[in-house]
Amino acid sequence: MKVFWFFFQKRTSCLTPPQAAATKRGMSTNPLLAPWHTQFGAPPFDLIRPEHFSPAFTEAMAAHLAEIEAIATSAEAPSFANTIAAMERSGRALKRVGATFGNLVASHGNAALQEVEREMAPRLADHGSRISLDPRLFARVQALHASRASLDLAPDELRLLERSHLGFVRAGAALDEAGRTRMAGINTSLATLHTQFGQNVLHDERDWTMALDEAGIAGLPAFVIEGTSQAAAERGQPGHLVTLSRSLIEPFLTFSPRRDLREAAWRAWTSRGMHEGAHDNRPLIPQILALRAERAKLLGFDHFAAFRLADSMAGTPEAVHRLTGEVWDAGRRRAGEEAARLLSVASQDGINDQIAPWDWRHYAERVRAAEYDLDEAQLKPYFELSRIQQAAFDTAGRLFGLSFTHRPDVPVYHPDVRAYEVADANGHVGLFLADHFARPDKRSGAWMSSYRDQEAMPGEPPSAPIIVNNNNFARGTPTLLSFDDATTLFHEFGHALHGLLSRVRYPSQSGTSVRRDFVEFPSQVYEHWLEAPQTLRSYARHHETNAPLPDALIDRLLAARTFNQGFATVEFLASAILDMELHLHPDPASLDIERFEEEALARLGMPREIAMRHRPAHFQHLFSGGGYAAGYYSYLWAEVLDADGFDAFEEAGDPFHPETAARLRKVLESGDTRDPMELYVEFRGRPPETAALLRVRGLV
């Protein structure tokens, strides 16, 4: 996922200095505002301290408001240059400070940074509202929009004008004064609640551990034992610990023969954010949902889902329901068949009635080992982290002509992070930061973000991107990945390429600044190259012997791609469907969230053996920010695009087919300069078809 730090309608990005106006007013001693003389203009992490952020934000917001005031009060008639382009140039100090802070608090978020986050979230929301709800600014944009047909704009400029106007309208700029005032209040309240929700989840993930004695580690593969040892060492404890890092708890649930320990770990994992007291997220959810619903109604929509989907490829909740319903029915049928097979194995351990959710991964792995002669412990020695990262790099080289060179001279914020210069035949492209390991102060999951976005504003030097990938792999010596972990690395690197290959003029159109249900297409389609036999034969090598993954094992691995897809489909779709139901609810303030969850899953016919991938109280996609609210389905929609899109390479007979790769690169370069469906059709030659998705998941 992409981390966003919002103000106005833009993703926060940090742009190449010119020196900020704030710096010129005398705060150059603050390293966040002073010119950055580091390699490639990377943040000078060694100089930045938590106490620098609050004054830097204050100064940068003041500078930004002064720039906006000059635009809004200009005596000149509105033009694209003095209004839309001027807004694109504004706020550069704030973009730089916000991008640096947003990334650090997610990747390296100590208590001091979290305190700054709590302080700044409502202030930044209020700052954004002052701009997006300014009637003078909106009047200028409105006038340009009304006369856009006569302005002789280039296609990217016309789209930027239209999207900017829509952004103002969706922010509430067209409301009366009372409506704008209320909208600003909603924005501030939501910013505070989103921050509190995310910090509560991080607290629970950091707070819980389960110590394992010798009996507890018995039967675990060596890589899981090493992971539990590393987790204990990171916390200054002896022995072995299970933590709530996904990269550790999922292997533990898969391989531990101790049903009692699996249950304890699973219950801790699925009850994050659900503990009575100061870190309980359950009371926050109805408040967040009610505020979103109120915002939607202020803007003339019946509910938040309709508001969100009006600006998406799907268009309406009904279209989402058709897609999710079709796949849900097929996935649930397959999950029922899988459950029966798992129970036949579990009965050997005395489980005769029904497997429990904490049993599924364990018995699925045993069935996979039996039916495909394949198990994760057998595969993992062939998937060493540095080799898989190199595979992702070299794939980008073959597809897009990119090279990646380690640059130890670039400052980084943690010893885990490695910096790479990205180049192509024309020279420097950008900087890529890889931050792969789980840490107690790092948010869970995996995501891509940017410290600086690509742009080439007319009349100014171009700005090269600085992109970061975050994963949460369990550290080892060496670090060995599951095939799912390796897929995650490729997924996030696909997002990174979307940012690195961007070739746009205006920052609001750069890289991943696209509609939510299109942003996952570049990441998900990139996963397919990990499965290419050429990739596996070259990079899946035993970490001790350097022997390649045997062809027979490759064949079994690829044959097993559709194994357990009923479980994977149901686990994901239950969360996506619940997301839509929550944002369609007519009275969300009244919700008892646990009761609603129980009743919604009963209506769906949720198999009792499977739990949702994200229960509401730790569903950070929805409640740590608004980016995926009423939009979690977008991973499925993007899977339609990626399955159908990769077929273009298969139809060409070569996963590295040059002409097809060139068309895909055009999609990645275009950002939001064109409609995403138009881009996809140009790449594929026709609209996407859902049949490829069902086939790839093995649901037909």
**What's the CA gap between 42 and 507, in Å, rounded?**
18
- Whether 3 and 447 have beta carbons less than 8 Å apart is answered as yes
> What backbone phi and psi angles, to 5 degrees, belong to 424?
-135, -165
Q: Which residues are paired to 209 by β-bridges?
A: 243
**What's the CA gap between 116 and 436, in Å, rounded?**
25
**What's the CA gap between 202 and 441, in Å, rounded?**
8
User: Which alpha helices (H) appear in 13-110, and where do they start and end?
Assistant: 21-22, 50-72, 86-89, 92-107
**What's the CA gap between 587 and 610, in Å, rounded?**
28
Of 238, 246, 237, 239, the residue nearest 265 (C-alpha): 246
User: Which alpha helices (H) appear in 532-633, and where do they start and end?
Assistant: 533-539, 551-559, 565-584, 593-604, 620-623
The gap between the terminal CA atoms of the chain, to the nearest Å, is 29
- Whether 691 and 700 have beta carbons less than 8 Å apart is answered as yes
Between vectors from CA 553 to CA 548 and to CA 558, what angle results, nearest 5°?
115
**Residue 76 is a catalytic residue:** no
β-pairing, 466-473 with 427-437?
A: parallel
Rg (CA), the chain: 25
CA quadruple 440, 441, 447, 451: dihedral sign = negative
**What's the CA gap between 156 and 133, in Å, rounded?**
24
Of 375, 385, 415, 338, the residue nearest 489 (C-alpha): 385
**What's the CA gap between 687 and 265, in Å, rounded?**
44
Identified catalytic residue from 205, 492, 531, 639: 492
Q: Which residues are paired to 450 by β-bridges?
A: 467
- Whether 462 and 456 have beta carbons less than 8 Å apart is answered as yes
**What's the CA gap between 400 and 458, in Å, rounded?**
26
Long-range contacts of 537-546 (CB under 8 A, 24+ apart): 538/391, 538/394, 539/387, 539/388, 539/390, 539/391, 539/394, 540/382, 540/383, 540/387, 541/382, 541/384, 541/387, 542/381, 542/382, 543/381, 543/382, 543/384, 543/478, 543/480, 544/381
**What's the CA gap between 492 and 2, in Å, rounded?**
9
Residues 457/459/461/465 CA torsion (nearest 10 deg): 0
* Entry field: residues in the chain: 700
Residue 222, Cβ neighbours under 10 Å: how many? 12
What phi-psi label fits residue 654: left (phi over 0), alpha (psi between -120 and 50 degrees) or beta? beta
- Whether 79 and 53 have beta carbons less than 8 Å apart is answered as no
| 303, amino acid identity | H
**What's the CA gap between 178 and 197, in Å, rounded?**
29
| Exposure letters 322-331 (e unless 16+ CB within 10 A, then b) | ebbeebbebb
Of 650, 26, 620, 560, the residue nearest 288 (C-alpha): 620
Distance of CA 419 to the CA centre of its chain: 20
Active site residues: 492
